[in-house]
Structures are given as C-alpha cells and as structure tokens.
Chains A and B, each alone.
Chain A
Amino acid sequence: MRKLARFFVPYLAYFVILLALVYGQTWATLALPGYMSDIVNNGIVAENTSVIFQTGLKMLGVTLLGGVFMIGVSYVATRIAAGYARRLREAVFTRVEMFSLVEFNSFSSASLITRSTNDVQQIQQVLGMMLRIALLGPFMGVGAIIKAWNLAPSMTWIMAVAIVILTSIIAVLFTIALPRFKQVQQLVDRLNLVTREFLTGLRVIRAFNREDHEEHKFDIANMDLRKVNTFVNRLLATMQPTLMLIMNVVSVAIVWVGAYEVSTNAMQVGNVLAFVQYAMQAIAAFLMISIIFVLAPRAMVSAQRIGEVLNTEPNIVDPEEPKKPNPELAGTISFQDVSFAYAGADKPVLEHISFTAKPGETTAFVGSTGSGKSTLVSLIPRFYDVTYGQVLVDGVDVRDLKLKDLHHRIGYVPQHATLFTGTIESNIKYGRPKAEPGDVRHAAEIAQASDFISKLDDKYDSMIAQGGTNVSGGQRQRLSIARALAYKPEIYIFDDSFSALDFTTDAKLRQALKAETAGKTVLIVAQRISTIMQADNIVVLEEGKVVGQGKHDELLETCDVYREIAQSQLSAQELQNAATSGELITPEIAL
C-alpha cells in the first residue's frame, strides 16, 4: 500500500489545486438555492421584475463560474488519475521485466499480465471516480447542512432522518448484494468452464454419445446463473425507486412543516424552497460518499495485487563487482557439484551435477520427463541461480558476470518457440538488431527456414502475429533457431528444439548446423535417442542425478537407464544392428 502511495507524491501539488477547485465547485452549487429564494422572496412575492432579472443574471454568472470550476476539477482529476496509472503501470512493467524465472513462476505469467493491465486499469478508473465525484461528497454534504442549519435549524432534523434512512438502506442493500456479486462471478466462471469443456471435448462427447449429458450440465450452470442474476438485479432495482421516494417524501415534509414555520413568520416562503434544495444536495452528497464504499473494495484488491509485484525484489541481478571472463576459456561451460532446488521445495531438482562442455564439442542431456534436463540448461543463462555449487562460463562463476555479458555469449533456443510481433526479419535479428540482411538470410538458410519464407508473399517482411500464431509449430521452431544463429554466440543451447520438425528437415538442419557451429560449444536437450546418439558427451539424468556420462556405445554397455530409454525407442533388432555394425540405427519411425 505504501509503495503505491509513493507514486502519488508527484501529484500532491495537483491535489491541492484540485481541493481548491472542488471547494469552488461546491461554493457555486450551494449558492444557487440562495439566489432562488431571493427571486421568490424579493422578486415574485414582492413583485419586482428587476430583482428577478438581476438575481437571474447573478445566478447565471455563478453557474458559469461553477461550470468552469467543474471543468477544472475534471481536468485536474483525469490528469492525476491517468498520470498516476501511467507511473504505476511503468513501475510494474519494468519491475517484472527484471524478474528472474524464480519470481516469474511464483506469480505465473497470466497473473502478471492481469496485474499490469487489468489491475492498473481498475485503479485508474476508481481513482478518477474518487477524485471527480467522491471528493465532492464531503464538501457538499457539510456545506449543504450548514446552509440548511442557518436557514432553519428547527427543520434540519428532516434531513438527518432522511440521510440516516438512506445510508442504512444502502448499507443493507450492499451487505446483501456483495456476496451475491461474488457468486455471480463464480457462476459466470462455471458457465465458461462448462462451455469450454463442451467445445474442446466435442469429439469425445460425440464419440461417447454424451451430448445430452453435456447439454444438461450446461443447462444447470445456465439456470443457476439466471437465478442468482435475477435476484441481484431485483435487489439493485430497489435502489432507484427507493431513492426517489425518499427525496420526494423529504420535499413534501419540508413544505408541510415549512408551512407552519411560515405561518409564525419564522421563515419566508422562498427559504422553504431553498431548504428543499439544500436537502436534495445533502442527499446527493451522501450518495457520492457511498460510492467510495462501493469502489474502494475493488480498488483495494487490485492495489494489493500490484503491491505484491512491486514488493518482490528480483533476486538475480548484476553483481556489484563483476569479473572479466577469461578469454582463454572462452566458450567453456563447467558445472561443479551443482545442486538446485526450487524455492520452497524440499526435494532438489538437481543434485551434485558436474561436467564440462568445451568449444567444438556437443554435449547432450537425456532422461525421462521430470529428470531435470531443462532446469539444468536454464542455470547457464541464470534463469535460476544454483542452490549449491558453481556454474562457470568462460572460467567465471555466472553470478560474477554482468547479465548482459553472460547473455551475449549464449544462443538459447527454448522448448516452446516464442516469436514476437513484427516481421520475420525483425524476429531473426531480435538478438542482434544491427545484423546485416545477409546474416539474416544465412541464418534462415541454416535453420531450414528459407524455403518456406521464400514462398511467402512478403518474404522476410512477412508479418508475424502476436505469439507467432500465424506460422506452424515447425516453422516457429526453425525461426527461433535462426534467431539464435543470427545472434552469433559462442555457446548454443537447444532445449528440445527439434521436436516439431519432420524427419527430413531435422536431418538437413542438423547437417547444416554442424558446419555452422564448428568451434562453438553446443548443448542439446532431447527426448529421442536418435537426436543425440552422435554427441561427444551424453549426460544421462535420472531424478536430478547424473547416472551416466559418455558416448552412445559406452552408455549402452554401462548405463541401465540409458539402455532402458534406448530399448523403449529402438527395437531389439535395431539395437542388435547397432551393436554389431555400429550403424543403421533406426529410431521410432518419426513419420
């Protein structure tokens, strides 16, 4: 909360101006009934046209002034709200951009997106309403009551009664309605869920002939929503008529009681009418104040969620005294007794991992799902920091390198190929914006992407939609490989990045890569034995531990886990072939 208040400090001066303007607006609004009673008392009852005319002119002047104040309030308030939201949004976004995967995963990206879009928007909206409307409430309320008191202290009780009744009705309504609002939200979510399942499972539903069952499920969700919605709407529908009734009854009561006051000469007729106006203004003021109670809880939830983001310090940052990488060890990666556990987890994902990958070598990682392969390679670009041990790049602990320098050395191809909005070219040179067109084309050729790019209407200028949804999975993967190639790093990390390619493309790509990555350090994570069979060093992982390290043939002999994986993918005959002739290894037909 305090974090969020800090962003308001630059607007304190504006806020003071706003208060002055609101005061002016209140003054103008409260002045009008006085002029009206003048017109009645001294103009109409006393039959003086010139008084009517002059007071009328004054009234117009005050209205004009009031309008100017109101416009001023609106101007200052919207600028504060929009400006505040702008600062807040920027703070949240830049903070998240600095997050490592540790902080990122503790929120989930979907949640971070809502926090920096929806929640900020929510606060902007509520702040705007508060400044423009709710702030006026207390001023108007106090002012109207003072004015009314000055006019006829004996009748102020009518206002008090009205306000008490009004606020208690609002309070009762909202204590009943608020939990129902939540219920409505839950039922909408439920309806969404049922519909989504209905749509995504259409084939299965039809295969099992369960259409009626799903329709029935939908009907129940639909009916539940209808019932609660009807109740809530009927509840809220009482607001308007009740409010009207209270205002009307107050008017009648004031004129009625006012008649006796006039008869004893305690009041003039015009003042009774002015009193009615003040009563209406006081009621309106309390309505405005009650808006705060409706809006505040919504904003509080959003503020809390934003506060959580701002209170999270990124724990992977540049070292205070960065060390220089050792040029003699350029491209060397070395894991020294590395263990890693996710925050809060009692079981480590990786335990006592040691290996060295040198330039010109290919190091591969295999193991079943959950064995920690992807986690292992994500320690190199410091997506996470080790819990124990050291990861060295160019002979220096990655924690002692500047993040920018570290990332410059690594061409990372993730498991899920992510592209960004832009052109194919801008995506390929995402890592090196200054890359020459020739470099871009070369990278695309190596990545086996130039064929499909040349078939597109706009070639390299073809647009990529958000998330790269307008190209196929295989094309996305190839572009993501091209992006890493155009980056020209000394280390390549391929995290299961050939999975969406068909066999021929896969073979061609790896053939071309071989020449391109000569002399570089290459790390490959894979599921298929066929992909990594030829690696210089294969690291076999099982539940976070290294259970075997060596070349394919050695591992077949010595490593049970490796043999088990190989057996599940290659037939006995093929294993036999491999053992006897050392060739003709056929994996599962990855047709």
Chain B
Amino acid sequence: MTDAKSNNSPRQPARAGMMRPMGGGPIAMGTDRAKHFGKTMKQLFRYLRPFWLRLGIVVVFAIGSTVFTIIGPRLLGDMTNKVVDGYIATQAYDKITAQLPKGIKLPAGTTGAKLMQNLPAAELKKIPSDQRSAISKIDFSSGRPTYDFAGIAGLAGWLLAMFIVSAVFGYAQSWLMADMVQQITYRLRRDISKKIDKLPLSYFDNQPYGEVLSRVTNDVDTVGQNLNQSVTQIITSVIMIIGVAAMMLSISWQLTLIAVVVIPLSLISSLFVVKHSQRYFMNQQNTLAELNGHIEEMFSGHTVMRAFNGQGRSISRFKRLNHSLYNNAWRATFLSGLLMPITQFIGNLGFVGVAVAGGWLAIHGSVNLGDILAFVQYVSLLNQPITQAANVANVLQLAAAAAERVFEFIEEPEESPDPADSKSIEAIKGEVDFNHVVFGYTPHKNIIKDFTANVKPGMRIAIVGPTGAGKTTLVNLLMRFYDVKSGSITIDGVDTRDMRRADVRKLFGMVLQDTWLFSGTIKDNIAYGKEDAAMEEIVEAAKAAHADGFIRGLPGGYDMVLDESADNVAQGEKQLLTIARAMLADPPMLILDEATSSVDTRTEVLIQAAMDKLMHGRTSFVIAHRLSTIRGADLILVMENGNIVESGTHESLLKSKGFYADLYNSQFAGAMTDEV
C-alpha cells in the first residue's frame, strides 16, 4: 500500500506529490522560487562538469537530430515540386498536342523553349511564369513527358535515410541524457547521505527529519527531472529557432516576415494565459492544502470529534472548503486549457497568411508550391520552441528552487574534525571526571553552568529530574554528540575531545527508551554493535537480556523480520532487544534509560533484571524513574530545566534540603492530599 507517505514535508505540501494540480497541462507551476538563482546554477554546474565530454556529445547529437528535422520539410517540398512539375508538363503537353492539327507531328528536336519562342507575345503572357520553365524543358520529339519517378524515389530514399538517422541521433541523445541525469541525482543523494554523517546532532535536533527526507527524495527528483527536460529543451530549441529561421529566409524573406509577425502574438497570448491561470492554480493549491489538512485532522481526531458531537461542524467546514476548491480547480484547468485553442488559432492565422501571400508570390514566379508547403511546416516548427520558452523558464525555476534546498543542506557547517594526534585508552578502568563543565544548546544560554563530579570505576550514577528536565543532555555530552563549551569531561584522565569520537563511543553501551531498531531480522538487530558475532553469542546475549524467551515465541524466531516501525513487537520487548544489543557489544561503560509506565508490569520486571545484570561491574549512568534505583545509586545527579542543580547520595541530598528533598517530600505530601 502506498498510503499516506509520511515524508510530506510540512513546509511545502505542494511538493509532496500528494497535491499535484489537476490536469497539469502545459503549464509548470512557478510557485517555488530560488533565492539565489545564479549561485545555485553555478553549484549545479559543478555536478555537470564531470560529464562535459558526454554533454558535448549530447549537443552534437541534438544538433544532428534537429538539423535533419529541419532539412526534412525542404526535401519533402522538393519531392512535391517534382510531382507538380510532372503534372504541369504532362498537362501542357496534352493541351498543346491536342491543339495541333491531326496528322501533324512536331519535328524532332522541338523543345518547349523553341515552341515558346515562336509563340505570339499575347499568347505567351497567358502562360504563368512558374510553368514556363517546366514547359520549356519538354522535349516534344520523345513523346508524352513522364514523371521524374527516379528523382522522386531518390529524394524519398534520402528522406527516409535522414529521418532514420535523425531518430537514431535523437534517441542516442536521450539515452545519454537519461544516464547522465540519473548519475547526477545519484551523486546528489550520495553527497546528502555523506553529509548526514558529518553534521552535528544539534542540526537534527532543531530540524524535523521529514525536512531532510524530502530533500533526499522529492527535491533531488525535481532537480533530476527538470534538468533532463530543460537541458534537452534548451539545446534543441536554440538549434531549432536558428535553423528554421535560416531555412525560412532561404525560401522567401517576404513570407518569413509574415510568419514572424505572428510569433509575438502567440507568445503574448500564452504568457497571458499562464499568468491568469496561475493565480487559480495557486488558489487551488492553497484550498487543496487546507481541505486536506481538515480531512487529516478530522480523521486523526475521529474519536474526539465523535465524542463531542462535532460531525455537523466538521462536515459544514468541509463543504465550504470543497466548494471553493471546486471553483478554483475548474477555473485553473479551464484557463490553462485555453492555451491550445488560442495558439492553434494564431498558428492557423499564420498559415492562411503564408498561403495567401505564397500563392500570390507563386503566381509571380518567385516561389513554387513545394516551397510554400515546406514553409508552412517551418512555421509550425518555429512555434514549438517559442511557446515552450515560458515553460522552460518555469522548469528552470523549479529545478533551481529544489537544487537550492539540496545545496543549503550540503553546505551546512560540519562537526569539528577528530584531532590529528588522537589519544586512545588501552585498558579502560572506567573513571569519569566532569571538570567545571559549562554547556548550552544555544550560544547565549548556558544550561549547565559549572558542573564538577568524580565518578569512580564501577560506580552507578542516577540521573533524576522531571520530564523535560534535559536528562538526555548528559547522554549527549558523555557520548560527544555535543561538545562542552568549557571545562572538560575526562575518561581515565584523557579529555574526550582529544580522542576520536568513534573511540569515545566505543567505551559506552547505550540503552535508551526510544528504542531504535532497524528493519531487518532480530538476529541482525542484536548483532548491530558486533558485526561478526556468531549465532551462539547472539543467543547468549538474548538469554542474558531475558529476550530469548519471547524471541523463540515469535514466528521465525531470530530470523523474524522487524518491519519499519517494528509494530509486531511490543515496546517492552523492543527494549529487551536493545539490552541484548548492548550485552553483545560488551562495552566497558553504560548509559541506560529505565522503563516507564508504557511497559506492562511483567516485562518491566524482566527489563529491570536484565539491566541489573548488564550494569554489574560497569560504570553506569542511569536515567532513573524507580525509587529503588535512585536510592541504591552511588551518586545522584538532580536535573531541572536542563541544569544539574544538585548531586550527591540519597541521604546527603535529603539532608541538604534542596530541590531533591523538596521533590521527595512532595511525593509524601502529594499522597496525603491526593484523594481523587
């Protein structure tokens, strides 16, 4: 099922593929505009550069294909001329021989030219100019003139060959372009994925991930598609305009003048239509977004809507939005649909103009029928790239806007690189020191102001505080997801900033409540921290984490595939899997997150037992919710509003009568007043 893709970026519902304008038509939407068009194009050009040779070949093929397309009508015109010549010659021959007295034959060697010399001037005038040359070529001695079938066949052969070559060139060009564009989109995506690894976590904490996701898929797609379209169109359009103009001029400058007069007309009218329909397209997008928003909201809040008798109001709002969507939708499509009849009419205007003027010129001998026919085709060939011009501009804008979003991401400032002469710890003891640590997520606001603590090897540290107090801040600092602003965190005396990030992280095992598992087998998920783990090791870790039991109960056991959100395994069981994962990785130190109420009681007991086993003999930092854990801790860090406000043991903290004591006592007071 391709139901509601969750990658819809909230910022740009229009781009999410969910709400494309209906009918589409020949008008590309220009609602998205790049802020720095030139800069973005330059960056995009960098991606094109490795393909310069191929791009050159594409241009050559495009020129070849287009040139043959341009020559085609001319040759077809010549072919028609040969037919017309034959027709006129036979007609003239028949007319003249019919007028000759019976039995009289023209002497051998009599040609049409000789015949005409002997004609009286008055008679000669009656013969139209462009037929005179045909007549003058007739050789009456060799009988009735025949059609130049050999010449016609020759031209037809040439034409066929040319059209085939043109098609081959055209195809070769698209063939190369398709691969090139796909390579560029591939590279853009690859660069984004490489960038994800280099960005500090702070970037993602401040950015909804749907945003990044939409750059990887939608924006890169838009760049690719529009690049393909616009590059090819620009190349062929330019060649087409130049080539066709040249051919037209070579036939007749007078006719060219008439044809050119029509061009601005169709250009202006198409711009007019685009401009007016775009307003309705935009209204349509907006009402569609609003309507879809209403539907989404009502469906996801269905129970509340029903419980509070909200149907009537919901439906009447829907009807209002649906009505205005209807009005905008048909107007938008209808207006953009005007483009075709209007340009067609103007095109025909040009056709009639050319036919009338061409007929007149033909009678006066400066052009012939084949030329007029060729010319008519050129007029329509010329119209194509010109009406496309407005479209190409829009397409380029779209590509630039999407490319800009991609490049913005690629240019985000990266994490500081690992130190060149990094230190590492050979035999880890597990002593952690916080020395006057200062930290804040924003430059101007520090949430940890001056924190010092010494954690001895094997100690158990409880981190407590209300929801949203920023208990993960400490995790972030220990794992170097974020760096301290001043002061330092040392492990066995080594500043973590002097170590490679990867080496710091190897020292810690992490079991968070936000249990991230990837789609893959349970086996692979447990072995995530130790790639080459043997099956026995995996089972052993699962057993130690009390996960073996439920895993064996699942269809497929260890080979069961967890799906995207791993809905087929309960939350508590997922946490057991992450404990098994940490067990297998066997890190010297731990960061744990205790289960809260979303896990049922029995699983919670299992999780607790597994965690106790895991913590045994390891320096452990526990985000604690259970009183027993807190009381048993060697050190309690009390957090409020992101700051570590107190630290000490349970007893010493109670004695100091600070925030912790308040909280602890309020529990008792709460229990007494709590009579609901």
Contact = CB atoms under 8 A, between A and B. Distances in A.
Nearest to B209: A199
Interface in B71-93: 72, 76, 79-80, 82-84, 86-88, 90
Contact of A203 (B481, B605, B630): B481
Given A125-B22, A195-B216, A588-B625, A418 B300 contact: yes
The 3 closest A-B pairs by CB, nearest first: A237-B174, A368-B600, A74-B337
Nearest to B80: A255
A256 B79 contact: yes
B441 interface: no
Interface string B135-167: 000000000001101001100100110011011
B676 A52 contact: no
B534 to A, nearest CB: 18
Nearest to B362: A44
Contact of B4 (A32, A110, A192, A533): A110
30 contacts: A44-B369, A56-B356, A60-B352, A82-B22, A86-B323, A93-B318, A97-B298, A113-B3, A116-B299, A125-B22, A192-B217, A203-B516, A204-B528, A208-B505, A208-B585, A238-B171, A244-B69, A248-B163, A249-B163, A273-B373, A407-B306, A412-B304, A420-B301, A474-B468, A503-B670, A513-B676, A583-B671, A586-B668, A590-B625, A591-B466
Contacts of B604: 568
A85 interface: yes
Contact of B627 (A94, A213, A586): A586
A345 interface: no
Interface in A8-41: 32, 36, 39-40
A242 B352 CA distance: 30
B667 interface: yes
A49 B201 contact: no
A39 B359 contact: yes
Contact of B190 (A118, A219, A506): A219
Contact of A121 (B19, B153, B171): B19
A75 B174 contact: no
A176 interface: no
Interface in A99-140: 99-101, 104, 108-114, 116-118, 121, 124-125, 128-129, 132
Interface stretch (A161-169, A223-231, A390-398): A223-231
Contacts of A201: 516, 518
B182 A229 contact: yes
A109 B300 contact: yes
A500 B35 CA distance: 42
Contacts of A585: 671
Interface in B173-229: 174-175, 177-179, 181-183, 185-186, 189-190, 193-194, 196-197, 201, 204, 209, 212-213, 216-217, 228
A55 to B, nearest CB: 8
A565 B601 contact: yes
Interface in B527-558: 528-529, 531
Contacts of B303: 101, 378, 383, 412, 414, 418
Contacts of A155: none
Given A121-B288, A480-B304, 5 more contacts: A82-B333, A86-B323, A208-B505, A229-B182, A272-B80
A116 B295 contact: yes
A198 B181 CA distance: 25
A249 B160 contact: yes
Interface string B287-309: 01001111111111111111111
Interface string A235-254: 00110111011001101110
Contacts of A198: 193, 196
A383 B306 contact: yes
Contacts of B87: 45, 262-263, 269
B249 interface: no
A258 B308 contact: no
Interface in B462-503: 464-468, 479, 481, 501-502
Given A63-B348, A256-B152, A128 B333 contact: yes
B43 interface: no
B125 interface: no
B238 to A, nearest CB: 18
B163 A197 contact: no
A370 B600 contact: yes
Nearest to B24: A125
Contact of B362 (A47, A258, A503): A47
A204 B510 contact: yes
A370 B601 CA distance: 11
A503 B183 CA distance: 56
Given A132-B337, A204-B510, A215-B197, A503 B466 contact: yes
Nearest to B630: A589
Contacts of A129: 23
B625 A591 contact: yes
A167 B232 CA distance: 26
Interface stretch (B44-52, B259-267, B339-347): B339-347
B314 interface: yes
Interface in B318-363: 318-319, 322-323, 325-326, 329-330, 333-334, 337-338, 340-342, 344-345, 348-349, 351-352, 355-356, 358-360, 362-363
Interface stretch (A183-191, A336-344, A346-354): A183-191
A206 B479 contact: yes
Given A53-B356, A269-B369, A487-B308, A74 B186 contact: no
A7 interface: no
B508 interface: yes
Nearest to B329: A82
Contact of A244 (B167, B360, B362): B167
B111 interface: no
A381 B304 CA distance: 11
B213 A199 contact: yes
B628 interface: yes
A407 B309 contact: yes
A407 B301 CA distance: 16
Contact of A568 (B293, B308, B359, B601): B601
Contacts of A248: 72, 159, 163
Given A90-B322, A240-B170, A584 B337 contact: no
Contacts of A210: 528-529
A218 B193 contact: yes
A47 B22 contact: no
Contacts of A389: none
Contacts of B373: 273
A233 B178 contact: yes
B309 to A, nearest CB: 5
B147 A263 contact: yes
A201 B562 CA distance: 15
Interface stretch (A64-72, A319-327, A440-448): A64-72
A507 B601 CA distance: 23
A45 B670 CA distance: 107
Contacts of A530: 670-671, 674
B86 A418 contact: no
Nearest to B354: A56
A114 B83 contact: no
Contacts of A75: 334
Nearest to A79: B330
A66 B349 CA distance: 13
Contact of A189 (B2, B304, B319, B512): B2
Nearest to A509: B676
A551 interface: no
Interface in B584-608: 585, 597-602, 604-605
Contacts of B53: none
Given A86-B322, A124-B22, A207 B479 contact: yes
B601 A564 contact: yes
A386 interface: no
Interface string B624-639: 0111101000000000
B378 to A, nearest CB: 15
Contacts of B326: 82-83, 85-86
Q: Which of B6, B69, B160, B309 has the most chain A CB within a 10 Å cutoff?
A: B309
